[in-house]
Structures are given as C-alpha cells and as structure tokens.
Chain A
Amino acid sequence: MPLIETKDLVKKFDNFTAVKKINFHIQQGEIFGLLGPNGAGKTTTISMLSTLLKPSNGDAFISGHSVVEEPLLVRQIIGVVPQEIALYDDLTAEENLKFWGRMYRMSGKELTRQIEKVLEQIGLTDRKKDRVETYSGGMKRRLNIGVGLLHQPQLLFMDEPTVGIDPQSRRKILDTVIELNQQGLTVLYTTHYMEEAQELSHRVGIIDHGEMIAIGNQQELTEMVGEYDTMRLHIQAQEDGQQLAARLKEIPEIIEASTADHEIVIITPTAEDVLPTVINIANQLNIKIRSIDIQEPNLEAVFLHLTGRALRD
C-alpha cells in the first residue's frame, strides 16, 4: 500500500482552481519531488495533504487515513516543514522545540532526548539557548526542519525549504534530507529548483497550473523529450531576449527556445552543431552573450518540452 495516495484532488478558491484533479502516489521510503514554477499549486497540494486545507473535491489517503475524514490521525503521521519560517523568534531553539513537541503530546525524558537528537541533526546544539531572532536565515531554516522532525513522523512534507538561503545552508539542508531518507523517512519535497529535484528525488511529479503534467523517475521523464540537449545563453540584463528567442525558433534544429531571468533556454538535439548559428544571430541582433552553458537532457528540458516555458518563467 502506498504511503500517500491522492484521488482526483481538487482545490478551488472562489472561481480559481488552484489544483485540478491531481492523482499520484508515494511509496514508503521514497523522496518524491514535486517540481513546478511559483504558483503551480505545490503549496496548495501540500496544504491539502497536511489537512490544513480541505479539498474542494476528491480525497487523499496517508497511510490509509483520509485527509478529509480522519485529519487528526493523519496529523500524527506527518511532519511538515512549511515554506515560511514558522517559529517563535522570541523563544530559544530549545524552547521552540519543547513547545512544538508538547503540541504532539511529547513530554518528559522522551521529549528531552528527542530535542537533543534533532538539535544534533540540524547542527544547532551549540546555539540551542539562543533566541531564534539572533539566528541567520540558514539556521532558522534548519530549525524549521527540526520542528517538523521532532515527533518522528513517518512522512515529511517539505515545502520549498531552501528558498532565500545561502549555498552553504542549502547544501546542509539537502544533505540532511538525504540522510533522513537513508534512515527510512519518506519525503515529499516541493521545489522550483530543477537541480534540487534531480539530486534528491527518486521520482518527480511535474506540476503546472494546478495539473500534474508528468510523473516518473528522472530517466523516464527525460525520455519524454528524447536525447535533447539544453543550451543556456546568458545575456546582459538590458538585451532583448524575446527577439533573439523568436529568431532562434526559426532554426529547424532548435526544438524550443524561451527566455527566463536574462537567459535563453534552447532545446536542441545537437547543441554543438547549432552553436555557431546561434552566435551569428545574436551578433546580427547586437545582443551580447555573456556565457553559454550546454547540458545533457534534464528536467528543465522536460518542463520546457511539456509547457513551452522555462521553469522560472
């Protein structure tokens, strides 16, 4: 039996449908990456699975318990690391953990032992007596994760846990997720960073405009776009990327070309062959290319292939 199973999960906010009949399952011991751009419906999906939001239609089952009918049972099984840093800044790390542990009916030696274990896991033992308001962004993120782990859940929901932090803290968090998974924890990890989904996930669900547009492991997903390379052209901020992308789409060897964050993402079967043509067109348009990056088939290419847009559009 899968640990998570959703059945036609729908969430509507007035006239807007944020999640449209999503169906997927997650097996015990998996890291499942939910990949999609901002506003795709990732947080709404996690909110329904964690019983914070009631589905407008459909249902989801966590370890066999309905999120609609048995929310209290579901909450005992899951741990949630929200996107925002949901901690009490005026309390210390230890006080925060103690409070959240008590909310899960933990007490006494069990709670103390578990707090020490979690602090060790997230590398904050030395700072446990300091108020959270004195922590760096990365430390707060780690403590945010620690609260989600405290009651030893079977399943951990992590909603974009690396947003807005430095590369070192991000690395630490990714390592923690891998380590927790190796210890048997099942993880549902949402992100809009393709690299994180690729590195962490056993399987990935790609979500866009509230719809699950693809699910599979990395190999299965990249096969959807064939043996295509992804070429990224980094251009100056003031340059007209749209015009360049439009011209590049006219080249028969280029499958897809789109712009995002001062870069143009090109999907092509033969990156090295089309490179001189691309540079030539850029010169014709007087667009200066700062750097070029060529990658083998990846999730970015899958997303671009399925939606016609780059992940960070």
Chain B
Amino acid sequence: MKQIIHIALKDIKIEFSEKSTLIFFLLLPIVFTTIIGLGLKNSYGNDEPEDPRLVIVVVNQDDGRYGEQLLEFMEQSDTSRPVLRSKDEAKTLMQNESISSFLEIPTNFSQKILEGKKVQIEFTKYAESTTAVGLEQDLLSSIGKLNTVISIRAQGLETINKQPDFPKINQEGFLLEMEKITIDRLKNPPTKAISTQSELVQNQIPTGFEQSSPGQLVTWVLTTLLGGSEAFVYERNKGTLRRLLITPNRKAIIFSGKILGRLLMGIVQMILLIGFGAMVLNVYWGKDYLALAIMLFCFGLAGTALGIMLASFARTVRQASGLTILFSMVLAALGGAWWPLEITPKAYQTAVQILPSTWAMRGFNDVIIRGQNVQGIILEASVLLGFALLFFVVGIWRLKFE
C-alpha cells in the first residue's frame, strides 16, 4: 500500500514541478467558469424565473366578461396557466402533438349566460394523455368557480324579482356587486390548502453559473484526468516504467499507484473548482455532500480509466497529448458541459447518452439544480462506474508496459 502512495505522490510532484501546470489546473478553469457563466446568463436570461406551470391552450371566441372571468380563474391555478391561441393554431399544435389538449370558449358565451341559457365549453384532448387529464381537472376547478359566480348572480336576480319595489335602475349594479364579492371570496377563500415545496427553484434548464460551474469543472478536470495517458506514455518511453517493473513490486501495485495519483489530482481540482463556484459565484452545489462526493469519485474514476485506455492507443507523448485534448474537449462539448442539453433536440439528448460526460453533467445537475440526494444520483454514479470498468478493461487489455 505504501508503494502505491509513493507512486501516486511522485506523479503529483512531477505534474506540479512546473508552475505553469497551475494555469491549466486552476486559473483557466476559474476564468472560463466566470466568463462563460456570465455569457450563459445573458443568453438564456434567467433573471426572471420561467413559469413552471403546465400550459393549457385556450381558444377564446367570446367577447364578454364571463370568458375573461374564466381565464382569470384559470390564471390563478398553481398547476396550469392559460395561453391564448387562435382555433387554427390550436388545431395545428394538437396535430403536431405539441400540446395534448385545448379549451374552446364559444362565441356569445357570456351573452348566453346572461340570458340564463345553458352553455357548453369544449375541451379537446388526446384520449390517453395524463397531462390532459390533469389539465382537465384543473379546468373543472376554474369552471366550478365561474358556475359559483353565475349561481350567485341567479340568486341575486331571484331576490330582486321577489322585491317588486327594488329600483330597476340599480338592478344590474346590485348583481355586478354580488358577482364582484363572490369573485373576491373565491380568489381569497377562508380555507386554503398549502403545499410545501422544496426551497430550491425548480428550473429545468440550468443557466449562468449553474451551468458553467459544473460544465467547466467537467471540461478541465477531464483534461487533467485524461492527461494520465501522457504521463503513462512518457514513463513508458523514458524507461522509468520498465525500471519500476523490475523493483520488487507487483504490476498491480504500480498500476494502482498511477491511477491513484491521477484520481487524487482530479478530485482536488474538482474540490477547488466547487469551492470557487460555491463561495465566489454563489452556485448552490446541493445540500447532500455525500451525493456530491459520490459523483466526484465516480466521474474521477471514469476519467482516469479513460486516460489509461487512451494511453493504450498512443505510442508517443505527442499522440497522447493530442488524444487528451481531443477527447476532453469533444466529450465536454457534446456531453452538455458547454451548453445545457435541455436546449438540444430530443434525438441529440438520446444520442449523447453514450458519453460519460453526459452522465457526469446529469449527476452534477441533479445535485445542483434538482437538489437530489444519494438515491437521486445512483443511476448516474452507476453508469459512470460502468464506464470506468469498461475503460479499465480495454486499457489493461491493450496497454503495453514495456
């Protein structure tokens, strides 16, 4: 075990024997995190949090107050919000499967209510859409409120009719006042169910520093971890690896030492970048430190293993260096480290599931913006461990020590 640590510490010492290493290890990641974070903030504009409620498309053909009132009740919902569209637009959206349902308020809806006639509003939905069912339930609640207003108006009218001396000139004013009181009561009911929500803002798309802090961490730490391939090839070509192999230590010890050194460098770099993100940029890096630690370890191990695999394909340090830059940049860019995957097409999001960087970003986003605990990142951590295993197996199978 001591030998493993000595090899790891030697590798770290050699890596940092040049002061310029710190530029790539810390300085550039910090600069890029800050600049890109500022840029992304402006691009996706998250100064105003996006309305997280489900959208219910409404075709309002009524020009009276009850259509407007229904929309107002719908707007007060916690789960859905109305968005007005023309009938043609709504039909097109349905055909494209962009929406699962829409509501149509018919022409003369208010007029018919005032005339005491029965009116129907049409809610069109896909038969098996659970979203549409949810929206329908929410809509029924709003319609119920509107019916209450209409009932109160009807009762008011009955009261007036029972009092023949009620001045005709005040009748409509009286009814409107009753409606207004009812609406106010319905808006501020004496009893109200309070739902407790997470203290986190549930943004689906990470923005600003929330994106750049983990994104640049993945980018630059990948460079460090994959850099293990250069160190390995350098030792092999220099002859020090052969010399290590004729010391009284098993190959597994030498190999473990090399892995540990690289993994430690990656983990220290991650901790420093998280510290910068949390303390300077105020990025919320989650509340479950164990979940975060598991993610750091699994990502570090997958990256280190990939470095070993790359070493098995490179014959010269120059080749290894080229592969390190190529893989770290491509993996980071495609895996959602440079821009949120949520803004990319579904097909793209599916395709990049084959990259370890995608799972690393998913895991970090789970911790940062979704506040997940250990259970919430088990899938991502397991997939990263799977990648680590695959890369180690290929690397060890192909790697030439001599």
B402 interfacial by beta-carbon distance below 8 Å: yes
Q: CB distance A86 to B13 under 8 Å?
A: no
Q: How far is the CB of A101 from chain B (nearest CB, A)?
A: 10
Interface size on B, residues (CB 8 A): 22
A-B contact pairs, 19 of them (CB 8 A): A50-B246, A52-B242, A53-B402, A82-B242, A84-B238, A86-B240, A86-B242, A86-B243, A87-B238, A88-B14, A90-B13, A90-B17, A90-B18, A91-B10, A91-B17, A99-B10, A105-B2, A105-B248, A131-B17
Q: Which residue of A lies closest to B18 (CB)?
A: A90
| Cβ contacts B241-277/A at 8 Å (1 or 0 each) | 0111111111000000000000000000000000000
CA distance A72 to B6 in the complex (A): 19
- A86 near B239 with CB under 8 A, answer yes
Number of A-B contacts (CB under 8 A): 62
> Is there contact, CB below 8 Å, between B243 and A80?
yes
Q: Considering the complex, which residues of chain A in the window 176-218 have a beta carbon less than 8 Å from any beta carbon of chain B?
A: none
Chain B residue numbers with a CB within 8 Å of A53 are 402
Chain B nearest CB from A10 CB (Å) reads: 18
Q: How far is the CB of B101 from chain A (nearest CB, A)?
A: 67
- The reply to whether A84 and B248 form a contact with Cβ atoms under 8 Å apart is no
A104 partner, pick from B17, B245, B247, B250, beta carbons under 8 A: B247
Contacts of A50 in B (CB 8 A): 246
* Cβ-based interface call for B3 (8 A): yes
Task: Report how far A105 CA is from B249 CA in the complex, Å.
Answer: 9
Interface residues of A in 118-158 (CB under 8 A from B): 131, 147
| A51 CA to B240 CA, complexed, in Å | 15
Chain A residues within 8 Å of chain B by Cβ, number: 27
A76 is an interface residue with CB less than 8 A from chain B: yes
A88 touching B10, Cβ below 8 Å: yes
The yes or no answer to A1 lying at the interface (CB within 8 A) is: no
State the Cβ distance, A147 to closest chain B Cβ, in Å.
Answer: 7
Expressed in whole angstroms, the minimum distance between the Cβ of A148 and any Cβ of chain B is 9
Q: Which B residues lie within 8 Å of A25 (CB)?
A: none
Asked if residues B14 and A147 are in contact (CB atoms below 8 Å), the reply is no
Q: Which residues of A are found within 8 Å of B247, using beta-carbon distances?
A: 75, 100, 103-104
Which among B10, B18, B242, B248 is the interface contact of A75 at CB below 8 angstroms? B248
**5 further contact pairs, Cβ within 8 A, besides A52-B246, A84-B239:** A72-B248, A75-B247, A86-B242, A88-B10, A104-B248
Q: Which residues of B contact A105 (CB under 8 A)?
A: 2-3, 248
User: Which of these, A52, A78, A99, contacts B402 with CB under 8 Å?
Assistant: A52
Q: For residue B65, give the distance in angstroms from its CB to the closest CB of chain A.
A: 81
Given known A52-B246, A88-B14, A91-B13, contact A99–B239 (CB-CB < 8 A): no
Q: Does A239 sit at the interface, judged by CB under 8 A?
A: no
Question: Judging by beta carbons under 8 Å apart, are A51 and B246 in contact?
Answer: yes
Interface 0/1 of B149-161, CB less than 8 Å to A? 0000000000000
Q: Which residues of A contact B14 (CB under 8 A)?
A: 88, 90-91
Interface string of B60-86 (1 = CB under 8 A from A): 000000000000000000000000000
